[in-house]
Structure formats: C-alpha cells, structure tokens
Structure 1
Amino acid sequence: MTDIRKHAVEPTSILHLRNAADELLYAEDADGNPDKSRPMQAVMYGPGSKPFKKAQAASSNRLMERLKKKGKDSQSAEDKAQEDAVFLAACTKSLDNVSFDALTGEALFMAVYTAPEIGFIPEQINKHIGDWSNFTKASPTI
C-alpha cells in the first residue's frame, strides 16, 4: 500500500509575474534595464496550505456578514476589488523585487492588488493559486 500523502502538494509556489503583454517582469538595474537576476515574483500560499484555508474561511465569513446585514450579496466594483485584494493579500507570503511607493508587507500587497492600472497582476495570481498543479512537488529527475 502506498501512503496517499506521498501526493501532497507544497504549501507555497512561486509565480514569476508578467506584464499585460505577457512578458516576464524583472526589477530594473541602475541603468533602468531589466535585471534578469531579479525576477518580480509572488510567493503564494496554495489551496493545500493553512493560510489559504484561513483566507477562504475569512472570505466566506465576510460574505455571510454582508448577507445578514443587507439580505443580499451585492457589492460595488470597488468593494469587490477590495474583497478580492484582502483574500489575495492573505494568500501572499511575499512579493519579491516588487516596489510600490516604498510600501512593504501587507500594505504592499494591498496596493498592488487594488491598483486598477495593474489589474493583470491579481488576475494572474488568482489563476495561479486556483490551480493545484502549481503546488505539486518537483518530479525527481531520472
């Protein structure tokens, strides 16, 4: 018998961020050129991790609270974007080589995830964390 846990996923995965033209993003060097040794990347907690499950539960609880208060689940576009950003921020371990107004930690995550002009970032992160295969362990080389 094989222990099913052999197929467990990793708690985190690294996503190399892309721009709206689907090109990989890199931090800039002193001359303003892409520094290929410094990829802009998101280290994300995945669906098999405790932080992800906690973020899902918190999101569900916020939905239930809205339903209790208003009797329906209607949100403005701004409220929906904020709600999505809160979920993504809770699922983010780090944003590496990414800057936004000298912010760090959760403030950085929220700024990146709520800025409409870079809405392609949270979109690609949502897609990434929604796919269990992105969190599988690397296959051993033969």
Structure 2
Amino acid sequence: MDVSALMVSATAAMHVKNAAGTPLMDEGKPVRIHFYGPSTRQFAELETRQTERSIKRHNDNEGKLVARTAEQRREEAVEDLVLLTDRFENLTFGDKAGEDLHRAVYSSPELGFILAQGSKFVGEWGNFAGSTPPS
C-alpha cells in the first residue's frame, strides 16, 4: 500500500449549520468556514499555545488543579479557533473582515453554535482527508 494516498489536506471547509442543525446557504451558496488542519504549522502553534496556558495555570496556582472559569474557557476557545481559521465563505458580520470578522463571530454568545461546530470540526483528522496533500 502506498501510504502517501492517506495524506490529509492542509485545510478543509466546514459547512456551517444554524442552531437547529440546518446547513446555512446564502443566495444558493453554502456558508462555509475553511480551517487549517492537524498537519499544519497553525495547528502545531495551537498545541504549543495550549500547553503554555496549561503550564502557566499550573505555576500560577502553585501546582494545584484549578478549573478555568466559563469566560476563560470561552476566550481560549475563541482565540484557538481564530488561529485555525483560514477564511469565511459567504459569511459576514457587519463590516468586519479577516481576523476581526472571525473573532466577532466566534465570540458572540448568540452564535455559540458556530464556535462549537468549529471546535469539533478541527479536532477530527477525517475532516481533512481525501483532498490535496499539504505542501
């Protein structure tokens, strides 16, 4: 078996669903978010960032396990997903663009279903399988 056929793509598109689970469309075009996957530099940077946060919490609390607040968990999840977002497709939020757009969507509590979908999507290698291998 040629294992190179199993290589994953650097990015993958997630079709965004509304809170009820219906895929979103904008004038007949799918609303999608393109994410960097587990084989990328961005994902490696995310893992480093998460480890650094964990070590900092451990040191700040003198080695005691202390749960993060809901606000801290949400802020970290937003920043993590912003790092892994390549681009939005057919999705706007006022006049925001680029990273500001991504952050605005992910940090809106009323759009929390998008943050949840994205967080789940990027954690599954299979979502990045079967396309163009990373360069």
TM-score of the aligned structures, taking structure 1 as reference length: 0.83
Say which structure, 1 or 2, has more relative contact order (CA 8 Å, 6+ apart): 2
Q: Please, which of 11, 24, 28 is the counterpart of residue 36 of structure 1?
A: 28
TM-score of the aligned structures, taking structure 2 as reference length: 0.87
RMSD: 1.5
CA distance in 1, matches of 2:56, 2:79: 16
Tell me the CA shift for residue 68 of structure 1.
Answer: 1.2
Q: Deviations for 1:62-96, whole angstroms, at most 9, x for unmatched residues?
A: 22112212234422111110001111111110112
2:61 maps to: 70
Contact 2:16 2:33 in 1 (8 A): yes
2:39 maps to: 48
2:5 maps to: 6
Deviates more, 1:48-57 or 1:77-86: 48-57
Specify the SS of the correspondent of 2:87.
strand
Q: What percentage of aligned pairs have identical amino acids? A: 30
Specify the SS of the correspondent of 1:111.
helix
Q: Give the unaligned 5+ runs of structure 2.
A: none
CA distance in 1, matches of 2:31, 2:96: 15
CA distance in 1, matches of 2:61, 2:99: 29
Q: Give the unaligned 5+ runs of structure 1.
A: 28-34
Tell me which stretches of 4 or more aligned residues in structure 1 moved more than 6 Å.
none
Contact 1:63 1:73 in 2 (8 A): no
CA distance in 2, matches of 1:47, 1:73: 28
